[in-house]
Amino acid sequence: MINKNLFDNESAIFMGAKRNPDDCSIGIFGVNYDGTCSYKSGTRFGPNAIRLVSTCLETFCPRLGKDLEDFNYVDFGSLEIDKNDSISVIKAVKSATDFIMSSKLTPIMLGGEHSITSGAIEALVNRYPDLILIQLDAHADLRTSYMGNEHSHACAMQRCLDILPEKKILQVGIRSGTKEEFKFMSQKKQLVKFLPGGNAQEFKKALLPYSNSPIYLTIDLDWFDPSLLPGTGTPEPGGFFWNDFEVILETLKEFRIVASDIVELSPEIDNSGVSSIVAAKVLRSLIMSVQNMQ
């Protein structure tokens, strides 16, 4: 049964999802949080927007050759959180991720802002001490602290590094950050070269040492170019397009994704609704791509 102390499951539901986890292999949950957003807020509306627009999508993905109708997945709803306390939100994310894994489900988290990722990572490393993190993002997110908060969304990857036993992050598509952040990524060889419209040879080469490693895939939607996805609080020109995302997933199909998240959708910034549709399509692809933990 759903743990009603963790989730509010009275809102919209993602296309084809169940409310009961029986016979499911994937557990979706939302985190309606944007307490540390540093430019435009609104990511707290992201999870519900993804659910609401999902019914406009077909269930079949021609690139992956898979259909959502062949998958069983549960949408638990969104976490009950204290929106004024970033530390308690991260702890709630950890508890929710623990709960989903204990139910023998693969977690997919919908944000919300990027600071929530460290909570999921903290839960996962207890099961997977060799976990590595792949980050699709416009921003490095490696600051030690930002605006007086160590748990700001600008510090998301640094907080994950603090937790990961292997200290390994592969950062793909980063095009914004401080001089110090880019120097750090270069020294640690964790910034992977990948260009819009290009191939994924460098990405695959970077992944090869981790062919047997469990992977957490975090997708900050500002990775996409703002001409495709303007509905995000910190847009960065020079980003990526849908075909680029399909190239990434095509590369990752040979590897072991054990959990994932989609963050930083601010649907009210984009009145067209296209940003929410792109995010929903990302979720459709992830449901077809993550591996069953059972």
Answer yes or no: is 23 a known binding residue: no
CA distances from 2 to 83, 194, 215 (A): 22, 40, 26
Answer yes or no: is 222 a known binding residue: yes
Answer yes or no: is 75 a known binding residue: no
- For residue 258, the surrounding DSSP H or E stretch is strand 256-263
Burial (CB count <10 Å: 0-12, 13-18, 19+), residue 134? buried
* Sheet of 214-220, strand order: 7-8, 73-79, 26-31, 106-111, 256-263, 214-220, 132-136, 169-172, 191-192
Answer yes or no: is 162 a known binding residue: no
The SS3 of residue 7 is strand
CA separation for the pair 140, 265 (Å, rounded): 17
Answer yes or no: is 220 a known binding residue: yes
Answer yes or no: is 225 a known binding residue: no
Sequence ranges of the binding site for Mn(2+): 114, 137, 139, 141, 220, 222
Sequence ranges of the binding site: 114, 137, 139, 141, 220, 222
